[in-house]
Structure 1
Amino acid sequence: MTSSPTLYQRLGEEPGLQAIAESLYGWMERLPEAAHIHALHQMQIDETRTRLVAFLSRFFDGPDRYRAHYGEPRMRQRHMKIPIGPAERDAWMLCMHKSLQENIADDELRTAVEAKLAAFAEHMRNRD
């Protein structure tokens, strides 16, 4: 019996997750609709990008790279000091959508990845 490959296996870390994270923050820098969420980042974008790749690795059922370097993910708790309402969620998802379009040619894979990230983005909301 063979099991289906995980999203992580289908995406790959390099260039997959790396490219998605690189593109995501590029869109945040360029899109006027995302200027407010780009400004919310409290650390250098390079460090933020590295942390995102580490988090996404496990999030998509790959190696747990985040915990070894940064501790328990607890993403919602870590982001509680940042106001995340529908506008911030939607701006992040707009950038992510564009990044996924750029980096995932397979429609089925892109749809699965985006759905999982959309649920996560909604979970991260801490304001109405």
Structure 2
Amino acid sequence: MQPSTAVGATPHYALIAEDNHPLGPSCVTSDGQSCTAIYGFTNREAYDRFRGSGRPPWRPYPLVVGHLERMLARPGLQLVVLDAPGQDEPTLAAAAADAVLAAQSGGALQLTAGYDLSRSPDGTAYLVEPAPQ
């Protein structure tokens, strides 16, 4: 995996399905910790790039503080994927949900990706590793 030094714009939108549930890639950590990830986008253009492959009728929805707080109340690692270019990418950059919440609350325009996600060998999930500092 290519080490991440990704700095991205703070996401303000999440990808949701028709049933209004946030969507994200399946992920697993090397130590077996539970992990949940959602796709986060900084703006409509980033979302449109993601949707370019004609995916189902998913839509962006404001990534509100309440949703981030609900994520953080769940056990395990909670991640927000930063402006994914597509659903089938070999690697993705993500930030912890608490870092996104802090960035939004503090008005930060950017945050550093704290995690690298790489497609598992069988292609069913992303393997999560802390990004090099």
Write 1 or 2 for the structure with the bigger share of strand: 2
Q: Greater helix percent: which structure? A: 1
Q: TM-score range by the shorter chain?
A: under 0.3
TM-score of the aligned structures, taking structure 1 as reference length = 0.27
- What is the TM-score when the length of structure 2 is the normalising length? 0.26
